[in-house]
């Protein structure tokens, strides 16, 4: 059975530093025999404010971060899923995008984040992603990989079951949630939501996450705890993170791997069939 690898990093405003982190993870995933590496949301950079985010953003055709990952994918014959930023035509906001780079180093799939993280948490962070990020226009259909049919989503999309149900309806076997979850929301909901999405769609869920403080001012901090969940809702791979109860630390620059067993997935779907009452409520397409 093929292995999926999740990689955990702490992106800063330095694209060079972030590329170096990812190159090390690619090497580790290749040595582990993984058939694909999944990297977090915003792997290219995490900015301190909206204006910095826009100024750091580059087209994928010239971004040294993206070009570097394409070279590594080709070098190791390893597909890479990675969250990055792309410019918008107006150049007043950016796109929060998930790319699929195939084993030849070509970008063959992209998805733009649908739901933006606009929150003000008591005694926690206030973040308004919509100040600098443009909402995605649509759910992209699943695409074929050596691991199975992949349905791409990003971070805050996790809180909405509709996109994952639509992707399952379209044939997805694996759902992606590359993320940069805050610590308060991560502690409260991260694992619960990932397992819920896996159980209700009877799919693998792969969620590579950012971890730790992203700037010297310590104004942005991510929860970590990257994980892979199987279609029965079992966590089959996990890294550490902030406030980790198992003593694993932050696991910055580490990978975890899990087998993707599509026969087991089909067994779950066959033995616990989800027969929807679309005569009572509408099908999510």
Indicate which residue of 10, 35, 41, 140 is catalytic: 41
**In the chain, what is the straight-line distance between the N-terminal and C-terminal CA atoms, in Å?**
30
Q: Look up 10 and say whether it is catalytic.
A: no
Token pair for residue 136? 């995605």
Q: What span, in angstroms and rounded, lies between the C-alpha atoms of 87 and 74? A: 25
The percent helix, strand, coil of the chain (3-state, each to 5) is: 30, 25, 45
- Tell me the C-alpha to C-alpha distance, in Å, between residue 176 and each of 4, 138, 143, 157, 182: 12, 16, 12, 10, 18
Q: Three-class SS of residue 174? A: strand
Residue 246 annotated among the catalytic residues of the structure: no
- Backbone φ and ψ for 184, nearest 5 degrees, come out as -60, -45
Residue 75: active-site member: no
In degrees to the nearest 10, what's the CA dihedral of 36, 39, 43, 44?
0
* Exposure string over 1-38, b if 16+ CB within 10 A, otherwise e: eebbbbbbbbbbbebeebbebbbebbbbbbeeebbbbb
φ, ψ (nearest 5 deg) of residue 54: -65, -40
Query: H-helix or E-strand containing 36?
Result: strand 36-38
**Among the options 10, 72, 155, 242, which is catalytic?**
155
User: What is the Cα–Cα distance from 16 to 1, expressed in whole angstroms?
Assistant: 34
User: Kind of pairing, strands 211-213 and 221-223?
Assistant: antiparallel
Set 22, 35, 72, 113: catalytic member: 113
Give the active site residues.
41, 113, 155
């Amino acid at each position: 059975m093929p292995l999926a690898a999740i990689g955990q990093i702490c992106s800063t405003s330095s694209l060079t530093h972030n590329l170096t982190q990812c190159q090390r993870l690619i090497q580790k995933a290749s040595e582990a025999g993984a058939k694909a590496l999944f990297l977090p949301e915003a792997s290219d950079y995490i900015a301190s404010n909206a204006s910095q985010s826009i100024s750091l953003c580059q087209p994928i055709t010239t971004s040294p971060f993206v070009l570097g990952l394409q070279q590594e994918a080709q070098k190791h014959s390893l597909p890479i899923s990675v969250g990055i930023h792309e410019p918008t035509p107006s150049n007043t906001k950016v796109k929060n995008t998930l790319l699929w780079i195939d084993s030849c180093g070509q970008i063959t799939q992209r998805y733009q984040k649908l739901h933006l993280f606009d929150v003000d948490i008591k005694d926690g962070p206030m973040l308004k992603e919509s100040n600098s990020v443009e909402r995605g226009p649509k759910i992209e259909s699943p695409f074929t990989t050596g691991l199975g049919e992949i349905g791409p989503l990003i971070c805050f999309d996790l809180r909405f079951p509709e996109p994952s149900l639509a992707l399952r309806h379209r044939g997805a076997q694996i759902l992606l949630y590359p993320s940069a979850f805050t610590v308060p929301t991560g502690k409260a909901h991260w694992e619960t939501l990932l397992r819920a999405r896996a159980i209700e769609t009877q799919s693998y869920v792969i969620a590579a996450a950012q971890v730790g403080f992203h700037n010297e001012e310590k104004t942005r901090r991510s929860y970590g705890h990257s994980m892979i969940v199987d279609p029965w809702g079992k966590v089959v791979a996990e890294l550490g993170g902030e406030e980790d109860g198992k003593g694993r630390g932050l696991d910055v620059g580490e990978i975890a791997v899990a087998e993707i067993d599509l026969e087991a997935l089909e067994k779950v779907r066959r033995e616990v069939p989800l027969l929807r009452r679309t005569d009572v409520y509408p099908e999510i397409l």
